[in-house]
Amino acid sequence: MKTERLELSAECYEDSISRAAELLESGGIVAIPTETVYGLAASAYCEKAVEKIFTAKGRPQDNPLIVHISDLDMIADITDGFDDKARKCAEAFWPGPFTMVLKRGEKIPKSVSAGLDTVAVRMPSDKVARDIIKSSGLPLAAPSANTSGSPSPTTPYHVLNDLDGKIDAVIMGEECQVGLESTVVTLCTEPPRLLRPGGVTVEELLKILPDLVVDTAVLSEPKADAEVASPGMKYKHYAPKTETVLVSGSVDKFSSFVNNKKDSLAVCFHEDLDYLSVKYLSYGSIKNPETLAHNLFSVLREVDSLKVKTVYIHAPDKKGVGLAVYNRLIRAAGFKIIELH
Ligand code: AMP
Ligand code: MG
């Protein structure tokens, strides 16, 4: 299959949006930018198209997809009920990097939700994503547009690296602003539960959902046979091929630890740079976890090209967006964590 590159310069913007919509309406799969990461989109109403997503990504069949909408009036066709709590969340966090799990409506095929009777829904804020949804008139099922297990894509080049020849088209948009997948909260449990941290933080969620609980899978490795609330959390994810270890501790402790390791790479903060005598890639500032989120997946994709034996990643604090960064890093490291205290 030839993957079309749809450019977004001012002269071809409208044509590219229409072409993407046309491909989606006819059951194709198209990678689109969103403010979180690039998504691999298909009509959420078309079972055959949804199947193509699982095949192109090599995604396990039990890992459900998020359905993307551009307007609240699309919700009635997707979910079975939209109560006050859901409405409050929508008012506070949509459009934006926030996904709600609700009861699945009849029009959404079971395969979108991997057989569950719930469905995850998000309204993205990215203009290109919204224009494509509006132009097609369809809710779009879209997981991250990467090969399953590899770091999520935050540029169209990451998408092409993984999926060129396996998908109908890719929108050649800009780098994603947030850089991490959306926050996922289920409203199908009492109390509501955070399944995956993301750009909307726990601190912000608690203002709208004061009884929110954080699922144990957010910060720990689910047991092999455990039933997990969020199926995606049980898979190794975001992992470079190089052996990856997460290291918590101060700038001093981290730098002396890594400087003593032969044939290693430090994925570190700007604040570490003056103290390191090994190869490094900086992923942002310790004081600004948004920068860490924004750069994380690009940096993880660069690690293998540096050809070292082991990469040691400096762990952020688990506060604000730092919690989401930490959640991705423990999975990238296959839960190998060293605490230097
Ligand atoms: P991705 O779009 O690749 O970032 O993955 C979406 C994630 O959302 C999945 O890995 C699931 O863990 C979670 N998710 C999607 N739908 C549901 C659902 N119905 N119930 C619980 N979690 C869900
Ligand atoms: Mg993903």
Q: What is the pLDDT of residues 200-246, one digit of tens each?
A: 999 999 999 999 999 999 998 877 666 667 766 666 678 899 999 99
**Nearest-CA residue for atom 3 of ligand 1:** 143
CA of 252 to the centre of ligand 2 (A): 34
Ligand 1 centroid, distance to 132 Cα (angstroms) = 22
> pLDDT of the chain along its 341 residues, tens only?
999 999 999 999 999 999 999 999 999 999 999 999 999 999 999 999 999 999 999 999 999 999 999 999 999 999 999 999 999 999 999 999 999 999 999 999 999 999 999 999 999 999 999 999 999 999 999 999 999 989 999 999 999 999 999 999 999 999 999 999 999 999 999 999 999 999 999 999 999 999 999 999 999 887 766 666 776 666 667 889 999 999 999 999 999 999 999 999 999 999 999 999 999 999 999 999 999 999 999 999 999 999 999 999 999 999 999 999 999 999 999 999 999 98
Any ligand 1 atom below 6 A from CB of 230 = yes
Distance of CA 50 from the midpoint of ligand 1 (Å) = 14
Whether 282 lines ligand 1, by a CB cut-off of 6 Å, is: no
64 in ligand 1 pocket by Cβ < 6 Å?
yes
Sheet holding 193-196, edge to edge: 4-7, 169-172, 30-32, 39-43, 140-141, 66-68, 118-122, 98-103, 183-186, 193-196, 213-214
Task: Kindly list the protein residues that place their beta carbon closer than 5 angstroms to ligand 2, a single-atom ion.
Answer: 144
Distances (CA, A) of 313 to 101, 289, 296: 32, 14, 10
| Ligand 1 atom 22, closest CA | 230
Q: How far is CA 248 from CA 236, 252, 294, 297, 340, in A?
A: 20, 11, 20, 19, 6
For the Cβ of 240 lying below 6 angstroms from any atom of ligand 1, the answer is no
pTM: 0.96
* Half-sphere exposure in the Cβ direction for 272 (13 Å, CA): 34
The ligand 1 atom at the shortest distance from the C-alpha of residue 39 is 2
Q: Give the contacts of 215 (CB within 8 A, at least 6 positions apart).
A: 193, 194, 195, 229, 230, 233
